[in-house]
Amino acid sequence: MTTSREWLDRIHALPLPRKVKVMNVCGGHERSIAMAGLRKALPANIELVPGPGCPVCVCPEEAVYQAIQLALVEKVILVAFGDMLRVPVNVAKRDVRSLEQARAAGGDVRPVASPMEAVAIARANPDRPVVFFAAGFETTTAPVAAMLAEGVPDNLSVLLAGRRTWPAVAMLLDSEAPGFDALIAPGHVSTVMGPQEWAFVPEKHGIPTAVAGFTSETLVAALYSVLRQLVEGRCFLDNCYPEVVRPGGNPTARRQLAAMMDVVDANWRGVGVIPASGYALKPTLRTHDASALFPSFEDAARKRAGQMPPGCDCARVVLGRVYPDECVLYGRACTPRTPIGPCMVSDEGACRIWWASGVRTPRARAEADAPV
Ligand code: SF4
């Protein structure tokens, strides 16, 4: 098997004529890249740009606010994946700003690691409404669909914020400045949905693309594939994770997604509505749809305050427009202990990943402090 070192040697030997930017879509990829120090091992003319791969970061602010209000006002048992609990919403400092604070204020908020835990909580509390706040990409939404397909207790409903990854990349590519020359496509999403979902990138946009796994070897192999495509003037979809990613993906998961959910236009926090980028429960599941069962706490005046806290650059970080340490709040007001935006909360958020990998200084300050 070819080692990371050998792949890196091949990358260094490529006669790249210019600076190239390669976007990696997946938060898991970004974590592997940052923790392995891969950027430092690459030639200076290759940039790796983290993309829209953090579902917690793009979960609309109003959905988090709704979940908080369901816990506090409707007195439901609110269950959510642990990452969501610290995501802040845009309210005055004296108000409850996260599910974690809602729990401290008396709300019954419980972290779960899987949909089955949500079902178990509902079964254990048959006299209380239980709302599962399910935010995630295809990999997380498919198990929610499986849970619904198997049947859930009457008292369990879902507040769904499921998102599809490829439409966000399509939106970038349809923009005037996509900001990247090649794409590393997500391995886990491709496992569920199949690699063919990314074929439009080379076929329609002429951008070399490779699906990667999560070890350094498979990531660097995918990187070599797209760089070599650029050098040779070729362009195709390369599956560099074939041991897990199969043509067609996971047929059962895709069937359950199609049976339980409709594809809808959906809001991405700070980004706006992206066509066909979200999931909604089918109308036949209305009795388990929290958005139909409970009042909406949407507040136009509060919404005008914006999706992101003032000064937070999460939306541009998510779209690969800036690097995390280019945000003026990075490492100053915003740290994992005092997160301002969602990208510093989630394990898949680029800001938190960069912080965890040892980047502790905002870029402007680091450059100003650099020896001349
Ligand atoms: S450093 Fe904090 S405020 Fe800035 S983009 Fe990242 S999460 Fe948002």
**CA distances for 161 relative to 59, 69, 203, 267, angstroms:** 6, 16, 30, 9
* Rounded Cα gap, residues 3 and 149, in angstroms: 42
Does residue 79 carry a pLDDT above 90? yes
The mean pLDDT value for 75-83 works out to: 96
The fraction of the chain above a pLDDT of 90, given in percent, is: 88
Tokens of 43: 């030639």
Does residue 371 carry a pLDDT above 60? no
Q: Is the CB of 340 under 6 A from ligand 1?
A: yes
Q: Is the CB of 208 under 6 A from ligand 1?
A: no
Contact 150, 285 (CB under 8 A): no
* Closest to 63 (Cα-Cα) out of 307, 305, 309: 307
Does residue 145 carry a pLDDT above 80? yes
Residue 42 sits at the vertex; the CA angle it makes with 335 and 242, to the nearest 5 degrees, is 90
- The residue written with tokens 């939404």 in the block is 141
Ligand 1 center to 354 CA (angstroms) = 11
Residue 234 sits at the vertex; the CA angle it makes with 233 and 239, to the nearest 5 degrees, is 145
Contact 71, 130 (CB under 8 A): no
* Closest to 200 (Cα-Cα) out of 219, 159, 172: 172
3-state SS, residue 194: coil
Q: What is the pLDDT of residues 194-253, one digit of tens each?
A: 999 999 999 999 999 999 999 989 999 999 999 999 999 999 999 999 999 999 999 999
3-state SS, residue 160: strand
Tokens of 335: 């740290």
* Rounded Cα gap, residues 195 and 189, in angstroms: 8
Q: Is the CB of 334 under 6 A from ligand 1?
A: yes
Q: Tell me what pLDDT residue 111 has.
A: 97
Q: 132: which strand partners? A: 79, 158
Q: What is the pLDDT of residues 105-142, one digit of tens each?
A: 999 999 999 999 999 999 999 999 999 999 999 999 99
Ligand 1 center to 332 CA (angstroms) = 10
* Rounded Cα gap, residues 43 and 19, in angstroms: 10
Q: Helices 115-124 and 138-150, interaxial angle, to 10°? A: 40
What is the secondary structure of 31-81 as a DSSP string? HHHHHHTHHHHS-TTEEEEE-S--HHHHS-HHHHHHHHHHHHTS--EEEEE
Which amino acid makes up residue 364? Answer: A
Does residue 367 carry a pLDDT above 60? no
The fraction of the chain above a pLDDT of 70, given in percent, is: 97
**CA distances for 15 relative to 7, 20, 159, 219, angstroms:** 15, 12, 50, 20
Q: Is the CB of 324 under 6 A from ligand 1?
A: yes
Q: Tell me what pLDDT residue 92 has.
A: 83
Q: Tell me what pLDDT residue 366 has.
A: 53
Q: Helices 4-13 and 216-232, interaxial angle, to 10°? A: 20
Contact 225, 258 (CB under 8 A): no
Q: What is the pLDDT of residues 162-177, one digit of tens each?
A: 999 999 999 999 998 8
Q: Is the CB of 354 under 6 A from ligand 1?
A: no
Ligand 1 atom having least distance to the Cα of 314: 5
